[in-house]
Amino acid sequence: MTEPTHHHTVYNGPVIQQRGDNNHATNHGSVTIGHGDQELASAVRELRERLRAIEDRLTPDQARLVEEARPVLDLNREEMAARGLTLARLGQLANVIGPMAQPVADAVGKLIQLLG
C-alpha cells in the first residue's frame, strides 16, 4: 500500500496519524509536509499567534467562531482559498472586538492577500 501524497502544510498543534493497521501516532509540535510556500506558512503561524493572544478576551460565541475556523488554517493553499469566507469571518470578528484585535485583522488580511 502506498502512502498518500501531501501538499506542503505547516500545522502547529496535535497531529493524529492513523493507518489501516490501527497504528496511531500523535505529534504535539509543528509538522511540515512536502515542498513549501514559506510566506503562506508564516502568515498562518502569525494568525494563530494573534488568535491565541486574544483568546481570553472572547465571548463564548466569538471563541466558538475562532475554534470553528482553526481547521481551515490546516488546509493547503487551494483548500484554504476555497474557504475564504471563514477567513473573512475572522476579520469581521477582529473588527467587532476593536483595537486590541487589530493584529488579528492585519494577519487575516495578509493571509487573504496571499491566497488571492
In tens, the pLDDT along 41-60 reads 999 999 999 999 999 999 99
Give me the chain's average pLDDT, please: 78
- The grid cell for 32 is 511540515
Please give the residue that has the higher pLDDT: either 9 or 113: 113
User: d(Cα 63, Cα 56) in Å, to the nearest integer?
Assistant: 9
Mean pLDDT (whole number) for 91-100: 93
**Residue 9, pLDDT score:** 42
**Residue 22, pLDDT score:** 45
- The grid cell for 107 is 494577519
